[in-house]
Amino acid sequence: MKIDKTKNGSELTVAVSGRLDTTTAPELEQSISADYEGLSSLVFDFSDLEYVSSAGLRVLLSAQKKMSKQGSMVIRHVNDTISEIFEVTGFSDILTIEK
C-alpha cells in the first residue's frame, strides 16, 4: 500500500493505492490520525486502490465518525470492486462515495 497526503488549508486529500487490509490498515490509521486537528474536510482518493478488507473498513468508519464531529469526509474514484465491497457491507449507506 502507498499513501500520498496533500493538505490544502483545512482539507486533507489522502490517495491510497494497493491493498487496504489487515496488514496495511494500521499504517493508514496512524498516518491520518496526526492530521485530524483543524481539519474540516477529509477526502480519500481510491483511484488506485485494489482491495479493502474489514480492517480497512474499520479505519474508514473510524475516520467517518471523527470527521462527522468536525466536518465532512468523502471517498472519491472508487472502482467497481471496491464499490461492490461497500455495497455488500452496507458501507455505501454510511459513507459519502463519489465515483
Average pLDDT across each block of 10 residues of the chain; the chain has 99 residues. List them in order.
Answer: 96 97 96 92 97 97 96 97 95 92
Provide the domain count of the chain: 1
Q: What is the CATH number of the domain that holds 49?
A: 3.30.750.24
Say if strands 41-45 and 11-20 run parallel, antiparallel, or are unpaired.
parallel
Residue-number span of the structural domain to which 27 is assigned: 2-98
- Distance in angstroms (rounded) separating the CA atoms of residues 21 and 73: 20
The answer to whether 5 and 13 are in contact (CB under 8 A) is: yes
Predicted pLDDT at 99: 76
